[in-house]
Amino acid sequence: MLFHLRMDVAIPHDLEPKVREELVAKEKARALELQRAGKWPHLWRIVGKYSNISVLDVDSPDELHRILSSLPLFPFMRIEVSALTQHPSDLAAQS
């Protein structure tokens, strides 16, 4: 199942810098792990914001929730999720 996500991150400004640095490093490591596993095939930064547009490829909505809640920055994210399905005019749908 494919899901389109917009993730907006808002880390509190008063968070201790060392804690922030550790969280960001853990977030990057987790994102790379999920990409290598094929669960996070697309990740784009939104220019000028601490936000991204992503496509996740998971087995179920429950798996998506488990993955998202496993992200170290999850407590500081606002996430919009849309389920995706193939469009009938997609070239791949024509074969």
Whichever domain contains 62, its CATH number is 3.30.70.1060
Does residue 25 lie within any of the structural domains?
yes
Query: What is the domain count for the chain?
Result: 1
Q: What value does the mean pLDDT take over residues 37-65?
A: 98
Residue 94 has a pLDDT of 80
Residue 56 lies in a domain: yes
Question: What pLDDT, on a 0 to 100 scale, did the predictor assign at position 10?
Answer: 98
Q: How confident is the model at residue 72 (pLDDT cuts 50, 70, 90)?
A: very high
What mean pLDDT, rounded, does the chain reach?
96
Phi, psi torsion values for 44, nearest 5 degrees: -125, 140
User: Would residue 52 count as lying in a domain?
Assistant: yes
> Which pair of tokens denotes residue 66?
């488990």
Residue 26 forms part of a structural domain: yes
Q: 79-83: list long-range contacts, CB under 8 Å, 24+ apart.
A: 79/5, 79/6, 79/7, 79/8, 80/5, 80/6, 81/3, 81/4, 81/5, 82/3, 82/4, 82/5, 83/1, 83/2, 83/3
**Which range of residues forms the domain containing residue 51?**
2-86
